[in-house]
Structure 1
Amino acid sequence: MRRTTVAAIAAALSCTLAVAGCSSSGHDDKPVRKQAAPGADGQNINAHPVSDLRQGGSLHFGIDQWITQYNINTVDGSQGDAQEIIRAVLPDLFDADAKGAIHNNPDFLVSAKVTSASPQVVEYQLNPKARWSDGKALSWRDFKAQWKALNGADDAYEAADTSGYDQISRVEQGTGALGVKVTFSSPYADWQRLFDPLYPASYIDTPDKFNKGWSEKAPVSGAAFKVGAYDKTGQTITIVPDPKWWGNKPKLDSVVYRALDTSAKTEAYLNKEIDEAPALLPEDYKRLVKAADTDIRRGARWDEVHITLNGGRGPLKDVKVRNALQAAINRKGVNTSFSKDLSFELKPLNNHFFMPNQQGYQDNTSEFDSYDPAKAGKLLDEAGWKDAGEGKPRTKDGRKLTLDYTLSAGGTSAQTDQAELVQQMLGAVGVKVDIKKVPANDYFNKFVNTGNFDITSFRNVDAVYQTMLTPVFLRPKGKNLYQNFGSVGSPKIDALLKKAGGTTDHAAAVKLYNQADTEIWKLGHSIELYQRPQIDAVRSGLANYGAFGLADTDYTKVGWLKK
């Protein structure tokens, strides 16, 4: 199952208290020998044939928050942990391999292919064994209901992303009872990302069902696992094998997800409460690498850390102020301080759509994205914010230039360190930054997703299709922010993204995405920092799980090795 998608968001991490860098993390002040990061297809999952696994056992994971929404096509459901769970219990039509190549999942599809180019027609043949937990067979009606909910024609459906679905003209029965025929009004290159996962028609066919029917529960399933228990008091969600599953039987008896503050995951791993923990931060790595029966598994993932600027309110509505922040924040300083004690090379990220190890990557930064406090000051002057003297916030019409930097209280100390570094940098040009910590369970639902912040930092991950990023940069429509939480966009960007999404020539699409990216940098939508290395501590006896890179997780193959 696909672990997460683009809006699978987690708190960003960095390490420093000073612009010049952070102090040594206990390595006797010896410089850390840097290694090249894994290639685009790099992964380490302790791969084994299923025959090597024992039957039974549980797997325990830490997640960032209690799941309030299991419809991942809504904004609240786009949080990464919700996607991790729902993709284990609903039909996952396509899977990515270690190189990011997409393949049909035979448990659900006999075939899926483009059968006509003009107009573009995609025909699916469903596996006759595939059924929902309520006994109904998967059918074209499920595809049609999902299209109607996500095509943007009815604003009552609170869709996080309408891209691709809005280019479909009709969905109908295809060849035979198990055939599905999808006709597009204009070509759409990334058609495989649609209807994946698939939701059942009878549970999303009205706005009320779509918006509220999946709140804090998954009312139906259709895969190898189903949700066995929700324990809000204990903050755990448990999935168990579904006895009605028609495919290869899972080896695990259960997978338990427990909401934990990020800062608590290392301790929970060392106490054997969870079986995997991030080992990226030096202070975590030092402790985890010494743990008994532990592997440090590394991979290359589509994973970017950035700072989002909210152009939907306050001083940041002015593009000159956003551009000033771009010039005032020393991206290289943030990156260098964070990577000081890492064994990975940390390359600067100068593109919103492609990672440095991806085909199509190029530097699209603007004139505002090189560290230049003098330029930042000049831009603030032009925006009417007067210099009040060293150490004091600028003023305009009797108001002080003050912004909040919103953080999850459940984040790591490194997250706070990054905020404090940005606070220093912006303070040097007359922008006062107040660091605002909010409850972990509220961070996305009540602050990020609603645009209730001035500055914040999180990650977008696993954007193996560039069209997955469309809602991140699309101009909001009314109260629907899509995933453009800072509300920064333009008609030109919208047009370029729409054209790119409809371009089946890959080279031409790459060119269009880079043109859109150039405009995104100029507008000060967000400040890219770095591609986050994938370094995880995993129990040594766990097979077919770990640092997946670009690949998806197949929980039917995950389990504990025979002793």
Structure 2
Amino acid sequence: MDASTTARRFSRVAATAIAVALAATACTSGSGGSADNVVKSEAPRQDSQDINAKPLEQIKDGGEVRFPLYQWITQWNPFQVDGRYGDGVEIMRAVEPSLFSVDATGTFRPVSDYLLDAKVTSTSPQVITYKLNPKAKWSDGKPLSYLDFKADWQASNGKDPAYNIADSAGYELISAVEQGADQGEVKVTFSQPYADWQNLFRPLIPAAGIATPEDFNQGWVEKIPITAGPLKIGTADKTAQTITLVPDPNWWGQKAKLDRITFRVMSQSATTQAYLNNEIDEATAGTATAYGQLKDAKDTVIRAASPWDEVHVSFGGGGALADQKVRQALGRALDRQSLIKIANNGVPIEFKLLGNHIYMPNQTGYQDNSGDWGRFDLGAAKKLLEDAGWKDAGAGQPRTKDGQPLELHWVFNDAAPQAQVDLATAAQSMWLAAGVKVVIDKVAGNDFFTKYVNTGKFDIASWRNTDSFPLSSSLLNFRLPQGDNVFGNFSKLGSAEIDALLQKAAGSVDPVEAAKLYNQADAKIWELGHTVELYQRPTVLAVRKGLANDGAFGLASLDYAKVGWEK
């Protein structure tokens, strides 16, 4: 099922490409599964993407591809807390230096247009030495240098609260950024080991664009002041709600194949008809309704793969939900398998139950840590509520405590597809059976994140977290807030123990040890009653025949410059 809202975690983008998909996030606390023995899953296959991959010589020069965009992008700085929208970050990686790409196995690969080399040159302390491509220059004419790395680090390390950052993970462990042997060499020193260093500075943002906190927070609102990529913004028409990317004539590498990439803002529910009307060249086919209408469309192919993309239900931490037992009860009252059947109905790709907040089932190290907290047990849910002081008021009635009914509000994106509405309605009935009344409050799609989710103004909300890769990025979504900065933990629920486990895992260069620590943290997240995971959402897309290097990428990253039409 496509969730009506997507929050791409800024990581592999990771952060997100938004596509409406219902995500239910609500971790339940208690006797979660043991994480002592990592259950190794099958590693992602080399072919675990479906993009009609073609070498550039088999792709036409010129032409246009038209994509839907589910939200107008206001904040373009991907390091700023409001700049984490997935499609926005993907676009930024086409117009700014993305030092590493990610292949179909989830492995980082250096991008030669920016890097001649990048490697660990010391382990005690850990030092990374980057050798920059001397051709790489910003649109203001300045060469890429250590000054850009230094500015990104200083803005993102969390030491200056004036920078309203999305995530300090990794950056807070850097102790120094210096010029190396010459102007084309950068040395980054860490105070403690950090395994996922290749995910930092992705994309690299120019020092000239974030010289002050004001520049960092406001200088990228409705504009991209400096670029250094194969593409640049051609037009950004807020009235028409369209954005175009065009080749940058100053680009020093392989020229982008297309003349223009056009993004048009529309609700996900509108994409099916827009595709059938030949207004866009790609549309989600992840719901029964959409798949049924698109699978036999003229000149269309269906492409599918399994990316880092989870569907969850999240709980807030205020009011009745400040009590962990209430959050645990909500999790135990959900029959996740039944909810998944609703989402999976009519879609030819099996949606599998997800038991982990950090790993996807096609990642090595995955194990199901949900334990009792992800297991449907209405009797156990009722007992938890009784223990929390909420008294039974009879069938079909909300429980009461101190004369007040147990009523919660689910903030719901009004652009959600019918499959999401059906799933939410089913969950609402499951909770009422336990004595919890849940009212669904529909809000405008453009307000869903900015006014409600990002500010934590919800009892219950659903969105997809996508591209939370590499693993260290999971800290963003579960770390304890610092003052007004909630990072990506919009529920504002966490613990020092979970933070410590995630931080220790991120510093482990031994993947087996790291997996053990991540799974221990995940078991505690389930126990906390933070998020209830439902399933890994496969990407299912209807794509125009002949469109190359685009579609369902799985764990790999998108390269807009290689997208085009077959000869």
Which residue type is aligned with residue 257 of structure 2?
Answer: K
Partner residue in 1 for 2:479: 474
* Coordinate RMSD, CA, aligned: 1.7
Which residue type is aligned with residue 481 of structure 2?
Answer: P
Check if 1:559 corresponds to 2:564. yes
- 1:200-249: CA deviations, max 9, x gaps? 00111211111111112211111001111111111111111110000001
Distance 2:363 2:454 in 1: 29
Partner residue in 1 for 2:123: 117
Question: Do the aligned partners of residues 64 and 3 (structure 1) sit closer, same or farther apart at CA in structure 2, a change above 3 Å counting?
Answer: farther
Distance 2:474 2:348 in 1: 30
Contact 1:10 1:458 in 2 (8 A): no
Structure 1: segments with no counterpart, 5+ residues: 16-35
Distance 2:125 2:93 in 1: 31
Contact 1:94 1:192 in 2 (8 A): yes
Matches within 5 A, 1:90-105: 90-105=96-111
Matches within 5 A, 1:153-552: 153-311=159-317, 313-552=318-557
Contact 1:56 1:252 in 2 (8 A): yes
Which residue type is aligned with residue 22 of structure 2?
Answer: L
Matches within 5 A, 1:43-54: 43-54=49-60
Distance 1:37 1:187 in 2: 25
Distance 1:514 1:41 in 2: 27
Aligned residues: 540
Using the TM superposition, name which of 357-366 and 494-503 deviates more.
Answer: 357-366
Partner residue in 1 for 2:14: 5
Question: Do the aligned partners of residues 136 and 57 (structure 1) sit closer, same or farther apart at CA in structure 2, a change above 3 Å counting?
Answer: same
Structure 2: segments with no counterpart, 5+ residues: 1-10, 25-41
Distance 1:485 1:207 in 2: 23
Partner residue in 2 for 1:20: none
Give the drift of 1:406.
1.2
- 1:287-310: CA deviations, max 9, x gaps? 111111111111121111111111
Contact 2:306 2:536 in 1 (8 A): no
Contact 1:14 1:414 in 2 (8 A): no
Using the TM superposition, name which of 80-89 and 6-15 deviates more.
Answer: 6-15
Distance 2:566 2:151 in 1: 42
Give the drift of 1:9.
5.3
Question: Greater relative contact order (Cα 8 A, min sep 6): structure 1 or 2?
Answer: 2
Distance 1:242 1:319 in 2: 53
- 1:148-201: CA deviations, max 9, x gaps? 011111111111110100100010111211110000000000000001100000
Contact 1:14 1:337 in 2 (8 A): no
TM-score (norm 2): 0.93
Partner residue in 2 for 1:32: none
Contact 1:62 1:258 in 2 (8 A): yes
Give the drift of 1:346.
2.1
Distance 1:508 1:457 in 2: 32
Distance 2:360 2:46 in 1: 9
Contact 1:151 1:165 in 2 (8 A): yes
Distance 2:246 2:327 in 1: 47
SS state at 1:478 partner: coil
Contact 2:23 2:312 in 1 (8 A): no
Which residue type is aligned with residue 253 of structure 2?
Answer: G
Question: Do the aligned partners of residues 41 and 352 (structure 1) sit closer, same or farther apart at CA in structure 2, a change above 3 Å counting?
Answer: farther
Question: Do the aligned partners of residues 84 and 3 (structure 1) sit closer, same or farther apart at CA in structure 2, a change above 3 Å counting?
Answer: farther
TM-score (norm 1): 0.93
Which residue type is aligned with residue 303 of structure 2?
Answer: R
Distance 2:218 2:403 in 1: 44
Distance 1:3 1:162 in 2: 14
Give the drift of 1:464.
2.9
Using the TM superposition, name which of 334-343 and 534-543 deviates more.
Answer: 334-343
- 1:447-506: CA deviations, max 9, x gaps? 111101111111111223101111101011111110000011101001101111111111
Matches within 5 A, 1:11-90: 11-13=20-22, 39=45, 41-90=47-96
Work out the percentage of aligned pairs sharing the same amino acid: 54
